[in-house]
Chain A
Amino acid sequence: MSPEAAADRYNDPRAGEILDIIARETGVDRALLRPDATLEALGIPSLDLTQAVFEMESHFDVEIPVVVSTGGAEFATMGGLVQHVLATLDRKAAAV
């Protein structure tokens, strides 16, 4: 995904909710959760991210899958994570 596309996804109102949850669960300043920021650079432990994903699943009432073929890369950057969660929500909306 291009940086422009990722930034565009950030404008989705649901992205705000996703970032709120990540900030709350990881304790990282919301302003630092930029699309190109990596979890590694933000110093977010994997368990904290797992907890944040769990909270998102509860919040949106959806199962957020791990994509085996990408080896978890969808969780590597904030942009990738937001995109992955939004795509999951879009699939759910389409299935209803």
Chain B
Amino acid sequence: MKRRVAITGLGAISALGSGVPALLSAMQAGRTGIGPIRSIDTARLTVKIAAEIPDFEPEAHFDRRQLLALDRNAQLALVAAREAMADVDLTGLAPERGGVVMGAAMGQITVDAGYQSFYGEAARTLPPMTVPRGMPNAAASHLAMAFGLQGPCFATASACASASHAIGLAGQMVRSGMLDLAICGGSDASICVGYLKAWDALRVLSADACRPFSRDRSGLVIGEAAGILVLEEWDRAVARGATIHAEFLGFGMGADAGDLTAPSADGAERAMRAALADAGVAPEQVGYVNAHGTATRLNDRTETQALRAVFGDGIAVSSSKSMHGHCLNAAGGIEAVVTALALREQLLPPTLGFREADPECPLDCVPNEPRRAEISMALSNSFAFGGLNAVLALGRA
């Protein structure tokens, strides 16, 4: 018999602020965190907006020696995980029954700064922590160390679906009995000149705003964030009197096996159907979908086709990327937190920046204003470069 999986911890840090309460209040207010870039020099960037975390002071969370080993990426992961674990009691949990699965994100800022000093400034050597800070499993390893979890610990690499793959695999491990508890999600400290410049070269970034599903949408806006879930075997959670924010119901994944960057409606549809089948849920039971919704011309049109193929007319779909930006390797993490909050609070987050209906995107995208709604099940979509698709199915607790 399949075990049930409770979501007993939520952690978030994003452009909408530090902590889940800040994220929720932004959802309630329909507030965006996108704005002019402040934390780095934008002189050589074409696109000068992003969704930056306001007022993050690493020294408030870590001492000097800890910071030597922590890229901003791992810092964000730890801050969000501390929040997610604040109400979790590990008493009685054998260390090897707890695991960590995180979306793989390099410590871009560390690597960028190291190579800048070496190539650009002829530095003799690089800081010795460059490799351990830069490695894409660093955040996962730091979380395992911080909470003493000795079970499976690794990072999933599937670009902008990484964190959804991480949560999906963690959910399956708890459900199957391999683990009793897992910390999962993603983090990405993406605001760094070299990395933004590389994204800029793809010509997918918007220069003014993120307007998912709007006819005048102009591209994606990159964000930095960490979004963390704690998944726990249901009976253990109930026995310890845990607050259950939502339930992990299922996970679907697949590959387009088509184009490297252009999305496929068929691939997206297959992943959504796989998630519904894994959860044992019929399409008509789903009340909300947190879209991948990048606000590129191609993604939103293609995702709309897939959504309509699965759900027909009338499903409420929104892109919270219009608020917290596209958080890349952390996207599936912060969006899973948003989806869990939508279920817990019975509140659909809006698609901000929406100005004009697009005949190519005939959807109820919850435009501009949050909406109260009675929903019992929801999906969170992630469709990544490489044609890698991951869809989470969550339920009201």
Contact = CB atoms under 8 A, between A and B. Distances in A.
Interface of A: 27, 47, 50-51, 53-54, 57, 63
A47 B129 contact: yes
Interface in B116-167: 124-125, 127-129, 132
Interface string B96-128: 000000000000000000000000000011011
B238 interface: no
Interface of B: 65, 68-69, 124-125, 127-129, 132
Contact of A47 (B124, B125, B128): B128
B114 to A, nearest CB: 12
Given A27-B65, A51-B68, A63 B129 contact: no
A54 B114 CA distance: 13
Contact of A54 (B65, B69, B127, B132): B127
B125 A54 contact: yes
A47 B65 CA distance: 11
A63 B128 contact: no
18 contacts: A27-B65, A47-B69, A47-B128, A47-B129, A47-B132, A50-B128, A51-B68, A51-B127, A51-B128, A51-B129, A53-B128, A54-B125, A54-B127, A54-B128, A57-B124, A57-B125, A63-B124, A63-B125
Nearest to A26: B65
A50 B127 CA distance: 9
Contacts of A63: 124-125
B64 to A, nearest CB: 9
A49 to B, nearest CB: 9
* Chain A interface main SS type: helix
A68 B76 CA distance: 39
Nearest to B132: A47
A47 B129 CA distance: 8
Nearest to A46: B128
A55 B125 CA distance: 11
Q: Which 6 A-B pairs have the closest CB atoms?
A: A50-B128, A54-B128, A51-B128, A63-B124, A57-B125, A27-B65
A53 B129 CA distance: 12
Contacts of B128: 47, 50-51, 53-54
A57 B125 CA distance: 9
A24 to B, nearest CB: 9
A50 to B, nearest CB: 4
A50 B129 CA distance: 9
A21 to B, nearest CB: 14
B106 to A, nearest CB: 19
Contacts of A27: 65
B382 to A, nearest CB: 35
A47 B66 CA distance: 12
A62 to B, nearest CB: 8
A53 B65 CA distance: 15
Contacts of A54: 125, 127-128
Given A51-B68, A54-B127, A57-B125, 15 more contacts: A27-B65, A47-B69, A47-B128, A47-B129, A47-B132, A50-B128, A51-B127, A51-B128, A51-B129, A53-B128, A54-B125, A54-B128, A57-B124, A63-B124, A63-B125
Nearest to B126: A54
A50 B128 CA distance: 6
Nearest to B127: A54
Nearest to A49: B128
Contacts of A47: 69, 128-129, 132
Nearest to B63: A27
Nearest to B69: A47
Nearest to A54: B128
Contacts of B68: 51
B369 to A, nearest CB: 51
Contacts of B125: 54, 57, 63
B90 to A, nearest CB: 26
A54 B130 CA distance: 12
A52 to B, nearest CB: 9
Contacts of B69: 47
